[in-house]
Structure 1
Amino acid sequence: MPDFKLAQRIAELPPYLFAEIDRVKKQVAARGVDIISLGIGDPDLPTPGFIVDALYEAAKNPANHRYPDYEGLPAFRQAVTRWYAERFGVTDLDEAREVVSLIGSKEGIAHFPLAFTDPGDLNLVCSPNYPVYPIATRFAGGEVAFVPLTEANGFLPDLDAIDAATWERAKSIYLNYPNNPTAATADAAFFEKLIARCRETNTIIVHDAAYTELYYDDAKKPPSILQFPGAKDVAIEFHSLSKTYNMTGWRIGMAVGNASLVAGLGKVKTNVDSGIFQAVQQAGIAAMRDGEPHVAGFRDIYRERRDAVVGALRKAGIECPLPEATVYVWAKVPQGRSSAEFVSEVLERTGVVLTPGNGFGAAGEGYFRISLTVPTARLEEAVSRIAAL
């Protein structure tokens, strides 16, 4: 048999976090254990029916069966600009130059370094982090420097702690708020300071904003970075319909912002994919136009789940901040165990699947993540099993 060796960039990859969790979960389930999976952030709530209906109607149109535009239907990109204007007050977006459709935001984030990162370039990654940020940089031959997010600093990067030489060398800085996995949010003062610093140092801001609509206080709606003066000089923002409208399997999102950054990403996409199925784009248009009442209902459900989990964890003596956004709870591992040890013990002894904090980078050590993506009763059962250890 021939021995086909993996490319070095693949061979050096650690096991993908959720794939490894899934492997262990199957082993435990094979023993007959009742599994409660709180690992991956995949909403259990169904996609609203009107979005499904829009897909059905669009799929019946033969015109939608052909290759789509690489950049996205003009109508979809116009819908994105309308949504940004209504939700964030960003009224100056040019849908032809400053918006590109994505086959899910993960695809766009993974491809972005291919457009702007040369071998040896340095990208900053705020960590704990979504694993795709550093992996995509390394695939492009770039180097990664992790900027720690600490609880003492509200899980925001300390921009002043990054030395001048690093800022001068940094090609990009990757961050996301509301944050996965910590559930932290960022305010206007932080974004304004970040924009000013990156304009001074000619550093690209890559902002992953997938969770802005899953907030719990109407008075504290998470902002888009594009709301702030100067952002379009240096920033590209990635957004997704996945978490907002429970469309994770539909693979549809968008990148918005600086025209040169959007164009660079678009050039990569024209060489590696053929765009989103047009019927899915039509459904996405319907979602952005009419989905807010449904999203408000989702927020109510997640708020109930959040309150139940946080209350039960604290009662069990496990420390965790109260999330203001996302579908996650970020909690401290009980003393004396590492993140991996604790999560492994919980899975083996109780059948509850958690995500170890160190799976999001070394800065996540000492924490674990719970996804609020099962019904409240199952969440309460899961925490009761954890508390009984």
Structure 2
Amino acid sequence: MKIDRSQYIKSIAPYAFAEVDKAREKAEEKFPEKIIDFGVGDPTEPAPAVAVSAGVKEAVLHPERGYPSYDGESEFRDAVSNWFEKRFGVRMDPDGEITATLGSKQAVFILPMAYVDKGDAILIPDPGYPPYTTGAKQREAKLVFMPLREENEFFPSLEEISSETAERAKLMWCNYPNNPTTKIASETFLKSVIDFCEDNDILLVSDEAYSEMYYEEEDKPVSLFNIEGGLDTGLVFHSLSKRSNMTNYRIGFVTGREELLAPFKEVQTNLHSGQSQILQSAAVGALSDEEHVEKMRNIYQKKRELLIPALKEAGFLKIYSEGTFYLWVKIPSKSSSLEIVKKLLYELGINATPGEALAQTEDVGEQFLRFALVPSIDDTEKAARRLQKKEILK
């Protein structure tokens, strides 16, 4: 029997990442030492002990648990509400304005199901998190990419969005601190986006998964909900994956005014049966503790201090690193990002993500590499030594 992939699946095939995977496999065969992987943003540091112990305790004390609540257990929603108020000074009602998610990726993908019909437009930052695009394609929406250009400090130019597109748009994604550019949004920029979306009846969705990943206290990110009009215009996404090194736990949340959040909650109840109470309890433990978050920031700072000077010695002279655990590294205009990634793999045994794999339009990603600071400090030191031995851009 012949079974073919749907046109939708064909439209989202990760061709650029597949090319990098092939290059890595080839490098593993030929390079004599361990490949040090700065490609995928998956933290290698352990989840905090407070989260692990809370999850184990839940599993041991309550083996009789049945299906969890669709919106998350009350303990989880209370913990989220308390953390959000402590961190951002904004109180969200745990009974109507917070819902648990299976991490961020699935939630990002399914969100358009709640607000977007076929032919509606979705405004998407470019380069950006791929599920913004794959979720939009699933709805057969019109994809409108907002370039995050270096000359515009990696903010979208709202004035480039035509009135026709603005009228057709139902949803805008906003992601700061930004993956991959590392940019942290100013309050002025966030206010301009809020005003634009309010004027055009566009739901503004702020993906704040990296809000706790900053390096200077004066750069501490604000939330969309700290800005006038934000609560009445948008939703905010959060995840424990990056804040607490809990990628394996698949736990996050979405928060917003009840009337704005309700359609998303309806979609969730039809697609899954809630997140495990064990994982929710682990998240409650993680949200109660800030010490591990500060330690995490210090570890990433050490890795930055090791890798950035080494990259400069290797010939990469412009490196962006405001927030997140990424470095957004510019390469010479004569080279493509995929070519440089292959050189790093074959000559130094170092893997990174080519910017073109994260972008929908070549001009915003082709001249950059993304390094995720996820290898151990020891491996980061090894990578730095390898980079210092050779000017890779020659």
TM class by smaller structure: over 0.9
Displacement after TM superposition at 1:51 (Å): 1.2
Displacement after TM superposition at 1:384 (Å): 4.2
User: Which amino acid in 2 is paired with 1:310?
Assistant: I
CA deviations on 1:113-152 (whole Å, 9 max, x unpaired) are 1111111110010111011101100011111011100111
2:71·2:265 contact (CA, 8 Å) conserved in 1? Answer: yes
User: Which amino acid in 1 is paired with 2:154?
Assistant: F
Once the two structures are aligned, what percentage of the paired residues are identical?
37
Equivalent residue, structure 2, for 1:341: 339
CA distance, structure 2, for counterparts of residue 231 and residue 64 of structure 1: 41
User: Which amino acid in 1 is paired with 2:322?
Assistant: E
Displacement after TM superposition at 1:322 (Å): 4.3
Q: Which runs of 5+ in 1 are unaligned?
A: none
Equivalent residue, structure 1, for 2:69: 69
1:331 equivalent to 2:329? Answer yes
Equivalent residue, structure 1, for 2:81: 81
| Residues 172-187 of structure 1: pairs in structure 2 closer than 5 A | 172-187=171-186
User: Which amino acid in 2 is paired with 1:149?
Assistant: L
Match of 1:369, SS state, is strand
CA distance, structure 1, for counterparts of residue 199 and residue 370 of structure 2: 36
Moved more, 129-138 or 32-41: 32-41
Equivalent residue, structure 2, for 1:29: 28
CA distance, structure 1, for counterparts of residue 229 and residue 193 of structure 2: 10
1:114·1:268 contact (CA, 8 Å) conserved in 2? Answer: yes
CA distance, structure 1, for counterparts of residue 296 and residue 229 of structure 2: 33
Match of 1:242, SS state, is helix
2:313·2:387 contact (CA, 8 Å) conserved in 1? Answer: no
Equivalent residue, structure 1, for 2:127: 128
Residues 17 and 101 (structure 1), Cα distance of their counterparts in 2 relative to 1, 3 Å cut: farther
| Residues 357-376 of structure 1: pairs in structure 2 closer than 5 A | 357-361=355-359, 362=361, 363-376=364-377
Equivalent residue, structure 1, for 2:235: 236
| Residues 201-212 of structure 1: pairs in structure 2 closer than 5 A | 201-212=200-211
Residues 218 and 346 (structure 1), Cα distance of their counterparts in 2 relative to 1, 3 Å cut: same
1:382 equivalent to 2:383? Answer yes
Displacement after TM superposition at 1:278 (Å): 0.3
Equivalent residue, structure 2, for 1:320: 318
Displacement after TM superposition at 1:159 (Å): 1.6
Q: Which runs of 5+ in 2 are unaligned?
A: none
| Residues 1-389 of structure 1: pairs in structure 2 closer than 5 A | 2-15=1-14, 18=17, 21-31=20-30, 33=32, 34-62=34-62, 65-91=65-91, 93-290=92-289, 292-361=290-359, 362=361, 363-386=364-387, 388=390, 389=392
2:354·2:370 contact (CA, 8 Å) conserved in 1? Answer: yes
CA deviations on 1:231-278 (whole Å, 9 max, x unpaired) are 122211110001101100000000111323321111111111111100
1:71·1:275 contact (CA, 8 Å) conserved in 2? Answer: yes
CA deviations on 1:82-125 (whole Å, 9 max, x unpaired) are 1110000112x122221110000111111101111111110010
Match of 1:125, SS state, is strand
Match of 1:100, SS state, is strand
CA distance, structure 2, for counterparts of residue 155 and residue 224 of structure 1: 18
Instruction: Number of aligned residue pairs: give it.
Output: 386
Match of 2:328, SS state, is strand
Residues 15 and 276 (structure 1), Cα distance of their counterparts in 2 relative to 1, 3 Å cut: same
Q: Could you say what the CA RMSD is over the residues aligned between the two structures, in angstroms? A: 1.7
Relative to the length of structure 1, the TM-score reads 0.95
CA distance, structure 2, for counterparts of residue 45 and residue 150 of structure 1: 32
CA distance, structure 2, for counterparts of residue 376 and residue 283 of structure 1: 26
CA distance, structure 1, for counterparts of residue 259 and residue 17 of structure 2: 34
Residues 178 and 17 (structure 1), Cα distance of their counterparts in 2 relative to 1, 3 Å cut: farther
CA distance, structure 2, for counterparts of residue 102 and residue 24 of structure 1: 34
User: Which amino acid in 1 is paired with 2:60?
Assistant: K
